[in-house]
Structure 1
Amino acid sequence: MKTTVRLIAASTMLALLSGCAGDGMNKTATYGGLGALAGAVAGAAISHDNRGKGALIGAALAGTAAAGYGYYADKQEAELRRQLEGSGVGIQRQGDAIKLIMPGNVTFKSSSSDIASNFYNPLNQVAASLKQYDQSAITIIGHTDSTGSRQRNMDLSQLRAQSVSNYLIAQGVAGTRVSTAGAGPDQPIASNSTEAGRQDNRRVEINLQPMNRG
């Protein structure tokens, strides 16, 4: 048993180190290593007759499952970065989640919730990816700067989020996957005391998360 646990621990550490090597972007190895370690513990606990064998089986099953989602998310992120290069859309990876940040000055006309015609193509690319990678829940959140009344900004942010949602659904994205919210000026990412900061705060974010993780 001790030998088996040492072997799994060493293998897990190697996977983690491999995932962190180079540019640090190989999340699949990291998820797989952590999943294997957790599976090994569970497998050893379940298989009382042969804890070593149980640990190895648990490691294999859990490691494969965890690496499977990491691989899925890695592929989706890479495709989105390729498709949206030069579009003005920012992409952030936060653990299991992928966030698309769409600047308001690119996506909408001033004080309007009508999508700018030059932004249809990037949204088409997003829609195509969301249809291909259909295991993610989609939350669309509108944000504004602090200029004007709070209620006006809350309403505008909700309308913009809904406009993006309506467009994606019209392109074939399942509406059951999509939810919207308007945050108004309440979640700034820059100072509202400068024009550059206010421009950064005027945005729509599309948050992608695995359906089974809330």
Structure 2
Amino acid sequence: MKKSRILISGVAALSLVSLSACVTDPNTGEQKVSRTAIGGVGGAALGYLLGGIIGGQTARIVGAGIGGVAGGAIGYKMDQQIKELKEQTAGSGVDVTETPDGKAILVNLPDGVTFAVDSTTISPSFQSTLDQIATSLKTYPDSLIDVYGHTDSTGSDTYNQGLSERRAKAVADYLAMRGVSSARIRSQGFGEQYPVATNETAEGRALNRRVEIKITPISQEEVNAAKGQ
């Protein structure tokens, strides 16, 4: 692992420990990372979540034909979608929260049930859960969807980067196959760059191996601005 990544991991691990980052998932009883605690890591480690939409927002809004949500209703719509997603994925190990800046929804797919070891094929037992997520994305169509892949630090940087990209694309392709407009979806792999736990333990590595679906609601004002450019 490169020195810069070690530094980021060390800062992240220290911040997470100091903020009691691990919480017990009520669905599975397992220890998971608290998204609130992750917010304390800072922009360096959370740039991929706090940054812009993959590929730029303007072109994607126009290409996806999104109508947009009235500005005052975005918060209400987000709360409703989060509530429904939590109910629909209960017991699956999926974690549904807001992103630390409160501007998007983050759906964390656990590695152990989403994929087999070193595989990019979605486990048949997890497909029904992804079907529920796809249904939610179709029910709330005024959003852009970014799918992020992450690995632990086991293996080379090159291998981990490729694996994270293929897994993110597999989830993105599955959502499109289930009827979510492909124009709304982009995927990206980050390899081992953004750990949420230590890579020194099996439990930490399991948390770091994940795929995240970031759902960013788009307002009518943003749609109008994009069409005006």
* TM-score class, shorter: 0.5 to 0.7
State the alpha-carbon separation in 1 of the partners of residues 164 and 111 from structure 2. 10
Q: How far off its partner does 1:183 sit?
A: 0.5
Q: Whole-Å Cα distance in 1 between the matches of residues 109 and 77 of structure 2?
A: 23
Equivalent of 1:118 in 117, 125, 131: 125
Normalized against structure 2, the TM-score is what? Answer: 0.64
**Gap runs ≥5 in structure 2:** 1-69
The equivalent of 1:91 in structure 2 is 96
Cα separation, 1, equivalents of 2:164 and 2:155? 13
Aligned to 1:158: 165
Q: Does 1:82 align with 2:84?
A: no
**CA distance in 2 between partners of 1:205 and 1:167 (Å):** 14
Aligned residues: 151
- In 2, the alpha carbon distance for the partners of 1:82 and 1:96 equals 21
Moved over 4 A (4+): none
Alignment partner, residue 136 of structure 1: 143
Partner of 1:210: 217
- CA distance in 2: counterparts of 1:145 and 1:103, whole angstroms: 13
**Separation of aligned partners in 1, 2:200 and 2:97:** 25
Amino acid corresponding to residue 183 of structure 2 in structure 1: T
Query: Of 168, 173, 181, which aligns to 1:174?
Result: 181
Higher relative contact order (CA 8 A, sep 6+): 2
What residue identity is the alignment partner of 1:196? E
Distance, in Å, in 2 between the alignment partners of 1:78 and 1:104 is 23
- Measure the CA separation in 2 of the matches of 1:210 and 1:107: 25
Determine the structure 1 residue equivalent to 2:154. Answer: 147
Structure richer in helix, relative to its length = 1
Deviation at residue 67 of structure 1 after TM alignment: 2.9
SS of 2:131's equivalent in the other structure is helix
Within the alignment, does 1:194 sit opposite 2:201 as a pair? Answer: yes
Give the AA of the match of 1:209. T
Cα distance in 2, alignment partners of residues 72 and 210 from structure 1: 9
Aligned to 2:214, the other structure's residue is in SS state: strand
**Aligned AA for 2:187?**
T
Residue of structure 1 in register with 2:72 after alignment: 67
Kindly indicate whether residue 133 of structure 2 is the aligned counterpart of residue 105 of structure 1.
no
Between the aligned partners of 2:97 and 2:86, the Cα distance in structure 1 is: 10
Structure-2 separation of matches of 1:108 and 1:121:
14
TM-score (norm 1): 0.68
Structure showing greater radius of gyration is 1
